[in-house]
Chains A and B, each alone.
Chain A
């Protein structure tokens, strides 16, 4: 692809997003050929990827069964650190989901056309990430089979949830987020499923995609209602995504624990979520665009823009780190100061310094345009940021808990094998879903890319 030409295209012209040479048909052919490839045409690299993911999913299942059977004592959680890996995983996964919503909803509202090629992938990533996230607090319940006690329903015990607790808010926030993301994703996919139905050569594929596409026929009346619904979904998802990580951060900041009790948490968590989410978007799209030959639909311009957002949100996160430390000393509060000093000098200091290196130092490379367009570097950087953001949440959750007010209660937390297997297993769930999605559903929104093409032609005409 002629990247040099794209580089010089004016910022707001659609031409900068889509390279010349595509037609309505070629876009459909390119995207649809992946899910419509016959079973015999499945590539071995994909099968290997799925097999490895399934192995980790199996590990996850074992870890879940053992957890349900034995209780959370199989993890390293001990008072005072009653929360550790599972909660860290929860925040990490749900944060990853947020970039998907940012791309699909917020960038739609602000009319950023470059979002088009990557929004389906990012939304799918959101759904798998929220699935992984939602499981974590569930597994952390002592008796998982009583999870429905979290809902307000009339019951013979005559008790109800405590609605002043952010932990109950979490239940509503995460479930709403999952439901809306799923509906938004599916709504966006209906016209593309119809396109797959009409292109399918095998009767089985035609039946399945036909069923999923609900009989969509592209009527102008339908488009009329469809577009406004899609826009309204975006309008709902935008405050929703901010509210979800805000509620997650309130789980911490509403408590009185030093290191948690801080008003900067909501914005700092939301920025961190988008930061880590964009890192995951890059981790996924860099291999996908080269493996499936989609470099002309997901261009360097897309990677460049993601990298810029990574840099911007990374700077907000860095500001959060700075302010946390500053406020501890500025407040003059003995306990706040102690927790910050422990963060810098204590047993978990190496984790904190790794966080600073991955999330603050490394992203500064992205000021340089050449690095933003270097896929290998971006890929490595995105993985470093994923790890860094996981460790950041670990420091917030565990380091703060392990040293609360009473020195006699202090206790260093160490993960057990089952902690690690739960974390790795959740990656298995995420990647299994992602591999299946890539093979079975249209990864790039065909109709939206065509619409962009149509507008682009309007420009040239």
Chain B
């Protein structure tokens, strides 16, 4: 048999999954993940997930877009290609606000989207969880999974399997890498 990725418990109710995730966390498991067809409120706390860095990316890229956008307009209109319109000031900054704003949104949105993909490591063409036929059929539809991975320090083939069986799942699946 190929190397083991972990054990995965299968549930048919999102509330059971949230309870199971909480129980596994209290048991001391850390290298685990839950899978569900839709976002379940409270699941991230139950798994003890750290705060996401995405808002920070949006903020930084938004500021970069705003400042960079304004400086671009300033440089072009004041230094590179100044146009004297009836002696009005070259740095007519209110006129530069709309484009600076659009560039703020553009920069935060596009880089934020890329950050989502990078932080989630997507696209990912292969992942061990899909080795389960049940997962491949139901995980995006109507079932909920909790997978404890083999590289968790507390992982022990028998104990982990028994622990998962004790959480009242429909079944426990052994996953290959």
| A425-461 contacts to B (CB < 8 Å) | 446-448, 450-451, 454-455
Asked if B124 and A194 sit within 8 Å, CB to CB, the answer is: no
Q: How long is the Cα–Cα vector from A195 to B55 in the complex, in angstroms?
A: 27
Q: How long is the Cα–Cα vector from A42 to B136 in the complex, in angstroms?
A: 27
The residues of B that contact A224 with a CB separation of less than 8 Å are: 44, 49, 52
The residues of B that contact A152 with a CB separation of less than 8 Å are: 72, 76
The residues of B that contact A161 with a CB separation of less than 8 Å are: 76
**Interface flag for B96 (CB, 8 Å):** yes
B105 CB contact (under 8 Å) in A158, A176, A216: A176
Classify the secondary structure of A's interface with B.
Answer: helix
**Interface flag for B112 (CB, 8 Å):** yes
Interface string of A229-255 (1 = CB under 8 A from B): 100110010011001001100100000
Which residue of chain B has its CB nearest to the CB of A158?
A: B81
Asked if A191 and B54 sit within 8 Å, CB to CB, the answer is: no
The residues of A that contact B95 with a CB separation of less than 8 Å are: 163-164
Classify the secondary structure of B's interface with A.
Answer: helix
> Which of A80-88, A122-130, A179-187 is the contact stretch?
A179-187
- The verdict on A214 contacting B130 (CB below 8 Å), with A163-B96, A233-B109, A240-B105 known, is no
> Which of B138-146, B150-158, B168-176 is the contact stretch?
B138-146
Q: How long is the Cα–Cα vector from A447 to B99 in the complex, in angstroms?
A: 35
- The verdict on A163 contacting B39 (CB below 8 Å), with A180-B109, A219-B34 known, is no
How many residues of B are counted as interface, with CB atoms below 8 angstroms from the partner's CB atoms?
62
Asked if B43 and A225 sit within 8 Å, CB to CB, the answer is: no
**Interface flag for B35 (CB, 8 Å):** yes
The residues of A that contact B80 with a CB separation of less than 8 Å are: 160
Asked if A227 and B123 sit within 8 Å, CB to CB, the answer is: no
- The verdict on A217 contacting B141 (CB below 8 Å), with A223-B39, A236-B105 known, is no
Which residue of chain A has its CB nearest to the CB of B32?
A: A220
Asked if B33 and A215 sit within 8 Å, CB to CB, the answer is: no
The residues of A that contact B101 with a CB separation of less than 8 Å are: 239, 243
Asked if B98 and A195 sit within 8 Å, CB to CB, the answer is: no
The residues of B that contact A374 with a CB separation of less than 8 Å are: none
B14 CB contact (under 8 Å) in A25, A194, A454: A454
Most buried by B among A163, A228, A454: A163
Q: How long is the Cα–Cα vector from A161 to B138 in the complex, in angstroms?
A: 54
Asked if A232 and B55 sit within 8 Å, CB to CB, the answer is: yes
How many residues of A are counted as interface, with CB atoms below 8 angstroms from the partner's CB atoms?
62
**Interface flag for A226 (CB, 8 Å):** yes
- The verdict on A195 contacting B58 (CB below 8 Å), with A23-B142, A168-B99, A247-B98 known, is no
A220 CB contact (under 8 Å) in B35, B81, B105, B142: B35
The residues of B that contact A163 with a CB separation of less than 8 Å are: 73, 76-77, 95-96, 99
- The verdict on A24 contacting B142 (CB below 8 Å), with A219-B35, A243-B98, A447-B39 known, is yes
The residues of B that contact A176 with a CB separation of less than 8 Å are: 102-103, 105-106, 109
- Where the two chains meet, the residues of B that have a C-beta atom closer than 8 Å to any C-beta of A are 14, 21, 33-41, 43-44, 47, 49, 52, 54-55, 58, 72-73, 76-77, 80-81, 83, 85, 92, 95-96, 98-99, 101-103, 105-106, 108-110, 112-113, 115-117, 119-120, 122-127, 129-130, 136-142
Q: List 8 A-B contacts (CB under 8 A).
A: A25-B142, A160-B80, A191-B37, A220-B44, A225-B54, A228-B52, A239-B105, A454-B38
- Top 10 A-B pairs, shortest CB-CB distance: A214-B123, A215-B124, A220-B34, A160-B81, A24-B142, A195-B140, A164-B95, A172-B102, A451-B38, A223-B39
